[in-house]
Structure 1
C-alpha cells in the first residue's frame, strides 16, 4: 500500500439490549451518550463531547445465524470499495459489501483469512476526523488486540492492507508470542494465538480508565463480569478483561492500579 498507515477510527457495539448496554458503559467507562439519526436506533457514546463509538441492536438475522453481542472496529481506508475488493482477493471474506452511511461515509463488513471480523470505512470527501486524543486519555480506545488462529500467518495480511509494522515481541511462555504492531511507528495493538477455549478469532478493544481497581469494581456493580485481572503488563499499565451484561467481551486499561494499591 502507499500513503500513511491505516488505523482504527470508530467502534460499534452490536447488542441484544442497547439501552442497558449504554447505561453499563456510561457507568463503567464514564461515557456520555446521544442519539444519532431520526430513528433513534443508533446511540453515540464517548467522553465529554467527543464521541468514539456507537451502540445498536444486533440484527435478528445475525442472531438467527448464531451471532452474539460484540464489539467491532472500523479501519479507515482511502477507498472502501477498492480496499474491500483487494481484501477479498487476498483471502479475506466480505460479510457486507460497501454501503453508504448517509452524510457520514461508506463502509463494509469484512473478515481476515482466519475469520476475525472488522469493518472498513471511508468518510465523505472533505470530512476530516478530529486529531487523535493523547495516549491514555480516559474514555478513548487505548489498545487493539487480535486473537488469531495463527498470528504469524495473518500478520502480513494486515501489514499489506494497512501498512502496519512489527514492534516489540513479548514471550508469554506456554501462551506463545505476543506481537505488538505499530502504525507510523506508534504501537497501537498486539496479536497473539487465541487459547483453545476461545471458539473463533476476534478483535478485542481496551478502553482507557484512570484506575483499574475502581473501574473493575464498577464492572461488577453494574452487572458485568471480570474474566481476568487486574494484571500489570509490560510498560507498567494495568488491565482487566471483562464481559458486559449482554455477553460482549471488552477490556479496560489504566496507568495505575488505584484503590491505594501501588
Structure 2
C-alpha cells in the first residue's frame, strides 16, 4: 500500500450560498480562494497560505441536489479504486456513482458505507 492509502485526500463544501460561505471561511479560517471555472459554474479552491485545503461549490451545479442541505463532503485516497468498490459492495456498502476520471486529479467514485454515510473514494493521479 502507498503511504496515501486511507488518508483524507480532499474535502469540499457543497452549499447554496457560495458568496456567504467564502466570506465566512475567510473570516473564521483565514482562507483565500482561487476560482476555477467548470462547465456548469465555478469551483472555488480554498487555500491556507499557499496550501490548497478544500473546495467550495454551488449545489446548483449538481443535478438532484438543488434542495439538499449544505454539507461538507470528504474523499479518501485508495490505491486501487476498483478493488475498493468491490470491498464496498461485499461489506454492505453501495456505489452511488461509478468511477469517473478528473484529468490531473484522479479517478473517483461516490459510495455509501454500510451505515449510509456518503463519501468519495479517489485513486489520485500520479
Q: TM bucket by the smaller chain?
A: 0.7 to 0.9
For residues 37 and 83 of structure 1, the distance between their equivalents in structure 2, rounded to whole angstroms, comes to: 30
Structure 2: runs of 5 or more not aligned: none
What is the TM-score normalised by the length of structure 1? 0.43
2:65 counterpart residue number: 62
1:8 counterpart residue number: 8
What is the TM-score normalised by the length of structure 2? 0.85
What is the CA distance between 1:54 and its match in structure 2? 0.4
For residues 79 and 37 of structure 1, the distance between their equivalents in structure 2, rounded to whole angstroms, comes to: 29
| Aligned residue runs from structure 1 range 1-262, under 5 A | 4=3, 6-37=6-37, 39=39, 41-58=42-59, 59-64=62-67, 67-125=68-126
Q: Is 2:2–2:79's contact at 8 Å kept on the other side of the alignment?
A: no
Larger Rg computed on CA atoms: 1
Higher relative contact order (CA 8 A, sep 6+): 2
Structure 1: runs of 5 or more not aligned: 126-262
The CA RMSD over aligned residues, in Å, is 1.8
For residues 75 and 9 of structure 2, the distance between their equivalents in structure 1, rounded to whole angstroms, comes to: 6
Task: Give SS of 2:21's match.
Answer: helix
For residues 66 and 95 of structure 2, the distance between their equivalents in structure 1, rounded to whole angstroms, comes to: 18
Q: Is 1:84–1:98's contact at 8 Å kept on the other side of the alignment?
A: no
**Higher normalized strand content (fraction of residues):** 2
Q: What is the aligned length?
A: 122
